[in-house]
Structure 1
């Protein structure tokens, strides 16, 4: 890991612990200033109300983001059963409020009984205020403009859905959950749909992403911490930890630098990180028939 208080120009990954109230775009802008480069991008947008892991690529590592296994994610969240909102979260306007009699039936056992319906591969209708495009325009933009939209269900996978705590309050029943899921899963929709199954409605009140692929909160830094010491995971380290490794000789290095196919290599399935004799990360290659061909070259 590289740490410095000066602007850096290296290639690598920064794992940010995003605070509530900032958009992912704003976080990227902050990292640009801290890193001293315009070449910064992120993987996996977080809503402004959400906190937690945002994986950010710096310089050439922005191109690596699309090759990393970042589809599997983990979240801790709190939902309120007993009320629905226009946005399926606490930032929207209240739509419905369940009666005390209906809420009395929402016991921990009743909640647990509904969870199997949400585990495994499920069909989920995204929240109407999602960033999904409808006829070229974001869904949330259409909703905020007063339009009525219908989003199509999509298949997502929930590999873990655990209830951590249940609390009964004046506004409804608060439920703390922890979820492992595929990319494209809307935790707000889980709150909405669980409330619907229980007949009382529901919405999300807090959301924290705890993991994206192999990057968790233990590797994450707040923007304030990054301002004091810019913690960068070098691109070579990330590639070596993420992909099978092939150490090229000088002749192979010359070919890889120009993206030429290589014959006679026995590469693992999927992509392999190609390294120069001096340890420089060069490219990602994959086996295509008798040849190894580049999927991305990271050196000039």
Structure 2
């Protein structure tokens, strides 16, 4: 059965869509989706769903994330990262004069529940069109600030490079946080401008980069995380009897005992370990809000030709 989640270590230069297109060929199905994009410049963890498990991606997107990044103090760019054009540059003396205490204070100001204006070159839609597409078309795009949560923003090291100051940082944050915007705002607060030169996503919820593989090394059959394993990593688990599994599959309510105050979907697991579906509990009964197929046949994989290595879209 080809269904489940795949953990991909996206290489630099690939878009998230490129990764999905390549995986479609390797998995032999067009039903592949991802849980949260990574910019082409960025590397690291991309969670992909295959076949019916694409339904689980909704519950992965909102999980907290961890990044390792390098922020270059001393220059601002149009995209807030190294792929954009430089728009301001501060004198090397001004950068060298920044004290460690000022950097620490700037980082502290960007930690916790904050308001953040996303980068104009982002995938956020403005009147039905991606913001980055509007920017490329020459429009002046100003996105509204939004609340985000930066759980931790840690300075790991700093290095002087050709009149700039490179800060290696680790950030853990909630969904919707832009690390590029953190770099931009830190540089603005210090009065010297800043942009990202490196970004690597190392974790999404319980899924870690250490368990991911490069697309060139991907063997879907051995790398795939089963629907049951995937669902129970991000949701609470409800073990069913054989009859309850049948009843849920037929759309019937079942009697359950859960911890008082529980809210949100629960992964309902049959005695044979199969993910029957996601259920919603009300009082002492549960009903299915999302069923998973009892038998999802594998689709023969399409051979991958050398041309696929370019990341060409399917």
Measured against the shorter chain, the TM-score band is over 0.9
Please point out which of 145, 169, 174 is paired with 2:161. 169
State how far apart, in whole Å, the 2-side matches of 1:118 and 1:108 are.
Answer: 16
TM-score normalised by length of structure 2: 0.88
Please point out which of 4, 10, 19 is paired with 2:2. 10
Please point out which of 247, 259, 270 is paired with 1:276. 270
- Cα distance 1:247–1:217, how it changes in 2: closer, same or farther (>3 A)? same
| Offset at residue 227 of structure 1 (A) | 4.8
Aligned to 1:131: 123
Alpha-carbon displacement from aligned partner over 1:102-147 (angstroms, at most 9, x marks no partner): 2122232321121111111000000010111111111111111111
State how far apart, in whole Å, the 2-side matches of 1:115 and 1:222 are.
Answer: 32
Structure 2 alignment gaps of length 5 or more: 295-314
| Offset at residue 249 of structure 1 (A) | 2.1
Aligned to 1:120: 112
1:298 counterpart = 2:292: yes
Q: How does 1:32-43 map to 2 (within 5 A)?
A: 32-43=24-35
Aligned residues: 291
1:62 match: secondary structure: helix
Please point out which of 228, 233, 238 is paired with 1:241. 233
TM-score normalised by length of structure 1: 0.92
| Offset at residue 49 of structure 1 (A) | 0.4
Q: Give every structure 1 segment of 4 or more consecutive aligned residues whose post-TM-superposition deviation is greater than 4 Å.
A: 227-230
| Offset at residue 246 of structure 1 (A) | 2.3
2:258 match: secondary structure: coil
| Offset at residue 91 of structure 1 (A) | 0.4
Aligned to 1:22: 14
Please point out which of 256, 260, 268 is paired with 1:265. 256
Please point out which of 77, 84, 88 is paired with 1:85. 77
Q: Is the 8 A contact 1:124 1:189 kept in 2?
A: yes
Q: RMSD of the TM alignment (CA)?
A: 1.6
State how far apart, in whole Å, the 1-side matches of 2:83 and 2:236 are.
Answer: 44
Aligned to 1:76: 68
1:60 match: secondary structure: helix
- Cα distance 1:153–1:229, how it changes in 2: closer, same or farther (>3 A)? same
Q: Is the 8 A contact 1:19 1:52 kept in 2?
A: yes
Q: Is the 8 A contact 1:35 1:230 kept in 2?
A: no
Aligned to 2:301: none
- Cα distance 1:16–1:167, how it changes in 2: closer, same or farther (>3 A)? same
Higher mean alpha-carbon deviation, 200-209 vs 235-244, is at 235-244
2:246 match: secondary structure: helix
Aligned to 1:3: none
Please point out which of 66, 76, 100 is paired with 1:108. 100
Please point out which of 191, 195, 201 is paired with 1:209. 201
Alpha-carbon displacement from aligned partner over 1:58-109 (angstroms, at most 9, x marks no partner): 1111011113474200000001110011111100111011012321222323
Q: Is the 8 A contact 2:206 2:233 kept in 1?
A: no
